Structure 1
Protein backbone atom coordinates (compact mmCIF):
# COMPACT_ATOMS: atom_id res chain seq x y z
CA UNK A 1 0.00 0.00 0.00
CA UNK A 2 1.18 3.51 -0.75
CA UNK A 3 -0.02 7.08 -0.28
CA UNK A 4 -0.48 9.84 -2.82
CA UNK A 5 -1.14 13.37 -1.57
CA UNK A 6 -2.23 16.42 -3.52
CA UNK A 7 -1.86 19.34 -1.12
CA UNK A 8 -2.90 22.95 -1.14
CA UNK A 9 -5.24 23.03 -4.13
CA UNK A 10 -6.34 26.68 -4.09
CA UNK A 11 -9.80 27.57 -5.34
CA UNK A 12 -11.88 30.74 -5.19
CA UNK A 13 -15.58 29.80 -5.04
CA UNK A 14 -18.82 30.51 -3.19
CA UNK A 15 -19.70 27.84 -0.62
CA UNK A 16 -21.52 28.66 2.59
CA UNK A 17 -24.90 29.21 4.19
CA UNK A 18 -24.83 33.00 4.10
CA UNK A 19 -26.23 34.90 1.13
CA UNK A 20 -23.14 37.11 1.13
CA UNK A 21 -20.93 34.05 0.67
CA UNK A 22 -22.87 33.11 -2.45
CA UNK A 23 -22.39 36.59 -3.92
CA UNK A 24 -18.84 37.42 -2.87
CA UNK A 25 -17.20 34.02 -2.56
CA UNK A 26 -13.97 33.29 -0.75
CA UNK A 27 -10.74 31.35 -0.94
CA UNK A 28 -10.61 27.64 -0.17
CA UNK A 29 -7.90 25.02 0.09
CA UNK A 30 -8.37 21.32 -0.64
CA UNK A 31 -5.96 18.59 0.43
CA UNK A 32 -6.37 15.04 -0.86
CA UNK A 33 -4.73 11.88 0.42
CA UNK A 34 -5.44 8.49 -1.15
CA UNK A 35 -4.11 5.06 -0.35
CA UNK A 36 -3.62 2.53 -3.11
CA UNK A 37 -1.44 -0.39 -4.09
CA UNK A 38 1.49 1.37 -5.79
CA UNK A 39 3.75 -1.67 -6.20
CA UNK A 40 2.92 -2.22 -9.87
CA UNK A 41 3.56 1.41 -10.82
CA UNK A 42 6.77 1.45 -8.78
CA UNK A 43 8.03 -1.39 -11.00
CA UNK A 44 6.47 -0.47 -14.35
CA UNK A 45 7.03 3.31 -14.35
CA UNK A 46 3.68 3.55 -16.21
CA UNK A 47 1.05 6.20 -15.48
CA UNK A 48 -1.70 3.67 -16.25
CA UNK A 49 -0.59 1.63 -13.22
CA UNK A 50 -0.99 4.38 -10.61
CA UNK A 51 -3.38 7.04 -9.33
CA UNK A 52 -2.99 10.06 -11.59
CA UNK A 53 -2.78 13.14 -9.37
CA UNK A 54 -3.89 15.27 -12.32
CA UNK A 55 -7.19 13.37 -12.16
CA UNK A 56 -7.45 13.98 -8.39
CA UNK A 57 -6.88 17.71 -8.91
CA UNK A 58 -9.51 17.81 -11.69
CA UNK A 59 -12.12 16.14 -9.47
CA UNK A 60 -11.45 18.59 -6.63
CA UNK A 61 -11.71 21.64 -8.92
CA UNK A 62 -14.90 20.45 -10.60
CA UNK A 63 -16.67 19.58 -7.35
CA UNK A 64 -15.56 22.78 -5.63
CA UNK A 65 -17.13 24.73 -8.52
CA UNK A 66 -20.57 23.38 -7.54
CA UNK A 67 -22.02 25.49 -4.73
CA UNK A 68 -22.72 23.76 -1.42
CA UNK A 69 -23.92 25.19 1.85
CA UNK A 70 -21.68 22.86 3.85
CA UNK A 71 -18.05 21.93 3.32
CA UNK A 72 -18.90 18.41 4.44
CA UNK A 73 -21.18 18.05 1.42
CA UNK A 74 -18.57 19.10 -1.12
CA UNK A 75 -15.91 16.91 0.54
CA UNK A 76 -18.23 13.88 0.30
CA UNK A 77 -18.83 14.57 -3.38
CA UNK A 78 -15.07 14.67 -3.96
CA UNK A 79 -14.59 11.36 -2.13
CA UNK A 80 -17.49 9.72 -3.98
CA UNK A 81 -16.08 10.72 -7.36
CA UNK A 82 -12.61 9.48 -6.46
CA UNK A 83 -13.98 6.05 -5.56
CA UNK A 84 -16.24 5.99 -8.64
CA UNK A 85 -13.60 7.09 -11.14
CA UNK A 86 -10.34 5.66 -9.80
CA UNK A 87 -10.66 1.93 -9.02
CA UNK A 88 -7.13 1.68 -7.61
CA UNK A 89 -7.98 3.92 -4.62
CA UNK A 90 -8.76 1.93 -1.45
CA UNK A 91 -8.95 4.77 1.10
CA UNK A 92 -9.27 8.51 0.84
CA UNK A 93 -9.09 11.55 3.09
CA UNK A 94 -10.28 14.97 1.96
CA UNK A 95 -9.66 18.22 3.83
CA UNK A 96 -11.55 21.33 2.75
CA UNK A 97 -10.49 24.62 4.34
CA UNK A 98 -12.30 27.95 4.17
CA UNK A 99 -9.67 30.67 4.41
CA UNK A 100 -10.65 33.71 6.54
CA UNK A 101 -14.21 32.53 7.25
CA UNK A 102 -16.85 35.18 8.04
CA UNK A 103 -17.53 34.01 11.61
CA UNK A 104 -17.13 37.24 13.54
CA UNK A 105 -13.57 36.77 14.71
CA UNK A 106 -9.97 36.68 13.63
CA UNK A 107 -9.86 33.09 12.38
CA UNK A 108 -7.32 32.00 9.78
CA UNK A 109 -9.35 29.04 8.51
CA UNK A 110 -11.93 26.42 9.30
CA UNK A 111 -11.22 22.89 8.13
CA UNK A 112 -13.38 19.82 7.73
CA UNK A 113 -11.86 16.39 7.15
CA UNK A 114 -13.71 13.39 5.75
CA UNK A 115 -12.21 9.93 5.46
CA UNK A 116 -13.70 6.88 3.77
CA UNK A 117 -12.75 3.44 2.51
CA UNK A 118 -13.86 1.67 -0.64
CA UNK A 119 -17.01 -0.36 -0.12
CA UNK A 120 -16.87 -3.91 -1.45
Structure 2
Protein backbone atom coordinates (compact mmCIF):
# COMPACT_ATOMS: atom_id res chain seq x y z
CA UNK A 1 0.00 0.00 0.00
CA UNK A 2 1.21 3.47 -0.86
CA UNK A 3 0.14 6.69 0.84
CA UNK A 4 0.12 10.41 0.19
CA UNK A 5 -0.11 12.87 3.08
CA UNK A 6 -0.85 16.58 3.26
CA UNK A 7 -0.04 17.60 6.81
CA UNK A 8 -1.02 20.62 8.87
CA UNK A 9 -2.39 22.62 5.96
CA UNK A 10 -3.46 25.96 7.48
CA UNK A 11 -6.33 27.83 5.81
CA UNK A 12 -8.36 30.84 6.96
CA UNK A 13 -12.07 30.21 6.33
CA UNK A 14 -15.61 31.03 7.46
CA UNK A 15 -17.50 27.98 8.73
CA UNK A 16 -19.83 27.60 11.67
CA UNK A 17 -23.36 27.56 13.00
CA UNK A 18 -23.09 30.96 14.71
CA UNK A 19 -23.52 34.01 12.42
CA UNK A 20 -20.34 35.68 13.69
CA UNK A 21 -18.28 32.64 12.61
CA UNK A 22 -19.30 33.37 9.02
CA UNK A 23 -18.18 37.00 9.38
CA UNK A 24 -15.05 36.80 11.53
CA UNK A 25 -13.67 33.43 10.42
CA UNK A 26 -10.73 31.56 11.90
CA UNK A 27 -7.84 29.29 10.94
CA UNK A 28 -8.42 25.63 10.18
CA UNK A 29 -5.77 22.91 10.16
CA UNK A 30 -6.31 20.04 7.71
CA UNK A 31 -4.56 16.67 7.62
CA UNK A 32 -5.20 14.36 4.69
CA UNK A 33 -4.19 10.75 4.09
CA UNK A 34 -4.74 9.09 0.71
CA UNK A 35 -4.12 5.42 -0.15
CA UNK A 36 -3.35 4.64 -3.78
CA UNK A 37 -0.80 2.73 -5.84
CA UNK A 38 2.31 4.87 -6.29
CA UNK A 39 4.62 2.17 -7.67
CA UNK A 40 4.23 3.13 -11.34
CA UNK A 41 5.34 6.68 -10.48
CA UNK A 42 8.18 5.29 -8.37
CA UNK A 43 9.50 3.58 -11.49
CA UNK A 44 8.65 6.18 -14.17
CA UNK A 45 9.40 9.48 -12.38
CA UNK A 46 6.41 10.88 -14.33
CA UNK A 47 3.78 13.13 -12.74
CA UNK A 48 1.12 11.53 -14.96
CA UNK A 49 1.62 8.26 -13.07
CA UNK A 50 0.75 9.70 -9.67
CA UNK A 51 -1.63 12.11 -7.97
CA UNK A 52 -0.50 15.73 -7.93
CA UNK A 53 -0.24 17.17 -4.41
CA UNK A 54 -0.84 20.60 -5.98
CA UNK A 55 -4.16 19.46 -7.47
CA UNK A 56 -5.28 18.00 -4.12
CA UNK A 57 -4.23 21.20 -2.37
CA UNK A 58 -6.26 23.28 -4.84
CA UNK A 59 -9.39 21.15 -4.30
CA UNK A 60 -9.06 21.65 -0.54
CA UNK A 61 -8.63 25.42 -0.90
CA UNK A 62 -11.59 25.67 -3.30
CA UNK A 63 -13.91 23.75 -0.98
CA UNK A 64 -12.77 25.62 2.13
CA UNK A 65 -13.88 28.88 0.44
CA UNK A 66 -17.50 27.67 0.42
CA UNK A 67 -19.14 28.62 3.74
CA UNK A 68 -20.77 25.75 5.61
CA UNK A 69 -22.35 25.35 9.01
CA UNK A 70 -20.71 21.99 9.73
CA UNK A 71 -17.13 20.83 9.28
CA UNK A 72 -18.54 17.39 8.49
CA UNK A 73 -20.16 18.91 5.39
CA UNK A 74 -16.92 20.58 4.32
CA UNK A 75 -14.95 17.35 4.80
CA UNK A 76 -17.53 15.33 2.87
CA UNK A 77 -17.33 17.74 -0.07
CA UNK A 78 -13.53 17.65 -0.10
CA UNK A 79 -13.42 13.85 -0.02
CA UNK A 80 -16.02 13.59 -2.80
CA UNK A 81 -14.22 16.09 -5.06
CA UNK A 82 -10.86 14.41 -4.57
CA UNK A 83 -12.25 10.99 -5.43
CA UNK A 84 -14.19 12.36 -8.43
CA UNK A 85 -10.96 13.75 -9.88
CA UNK A 86 -8.77 10.79 -8.89
CA UNK A 87 -10.80 7.59 -9.12
CA UNK A 88 -7.68 5.45 -8.58
CA UNK A 89 -7.73 6.40 -4.87
CA UNK A 90 -8.66 3.49 -2.59
CA UNK A 91 -9.08 5.37 0.70
CA UNK A 92 -9.20 8.94 2.03
CA UNK A 93 -9.01 10.17 5.61
CA UNK A 94 -9.44 13.86 6.35
CA UNK A 95 -9.21 15.66 9.70
CA UNK A 96 -10.27 19.30 9.98
CA UNK A 97 -9.52 21.29 13.14
CA UNK A 98 -11.15 24.64 13.92
CA UNK A 99 -8.40 26.45 15.82
CA UNK A 100 -10.61 28.93 17.68
CA UNK A 101 -14.03 27.40 18.29
CA UNK A 102 -16.44 29.74 20.10
CA UNK A 103 -16.56 27.71 23.31
CA UNK A 104 -15.47 28.18 26.90
CA UNK A 105 -12.05 27.03 27.94
CA UNK A 106 -8.64 27.01 26.37
CA UNK A 107 -7.91 24.44 23.66
CA UNK A 108 -5.86 23.92 20.53
CA UNK A 109 -9.08 23.36 18.59
CA UNK A 110 -12.11 21.23 17.89
CA UNK A 111 -11.78 18.58 15.18
CA UNK A 112 -13.77 16.20 13.05
CA UNK A 113 -12.38 13.31 11.03
CA UNK A 114 -14.03 11.51 8.14
CA UNK A 115 -12.66 8.51 6.31
CA UNK A 116 -13.96 6.61 3.34
CA UNK A 117 -12.84 3.47 1.56
CA UNK A 118 -13.49 3.19 -2.16
CA UNK A 119 -12.37 -0.41 -2.62
CA UNK A 120 -15.04 -2.69 -3.99
CA UNK A 121 -16.33 -5.17 -1.43
CA UNK A 122 -15.45 -8.76 -2.36
Provide the TM-score with structure 1 as the length reference. Answer: 0.96
Aligned to 1:92: 92
CA deviations on 1:32-51 (whole Å, 9 max, x unpaired) are 11000111111111100011
Aligned residues: 120
Deviates more, 1:101-110 or 1:56-65: 101-110
Aligned to 2:69: 69
Deviation of residue 92 (structure 1)? 0.3
Unaligned runs of 5+ in 2: none
Moved over 6 A (4+): none
RMSD: 1.0
Deviation of residue 119 (structure 1)? 5.9
Structure 1 CA distance for aligned equivalents of residues 90 and 12 of structure 2: 29
Structure 1 CA distance for aligned equivalents of residues 17 and 105 of structure 2: 17
State whether residues 51 and 88 of structure 1, in contact with CA within 8 Å, keep that contact through their aligned partners in structure 2. Answer: no
Structure 1 CA distance for aligned equivalents of residues 16 and 58 of structure 2: 22
Aligned to 1:55: 55
Unaligned runs of 5+ in 1: none
State whether residues 95 and 114 of structure 1, in contact with CA within 8 Å, keep that contact through their aligned partners in structure 2. Answer: yes
Structure 1 CA distance for aligned equivalents of residues 117 and 83 of structure 2: 9
Aligned to 1:33: 33
- 2:116 is paired with a residue whose SS is strand
- 2:94 is paired with a residue whose SS is strand
Provide the TM-score with structure 2 as the length reference. Answer: 0.94
Aligned 1:100-111 pairs, distance under 5 A: 100-111=100-111
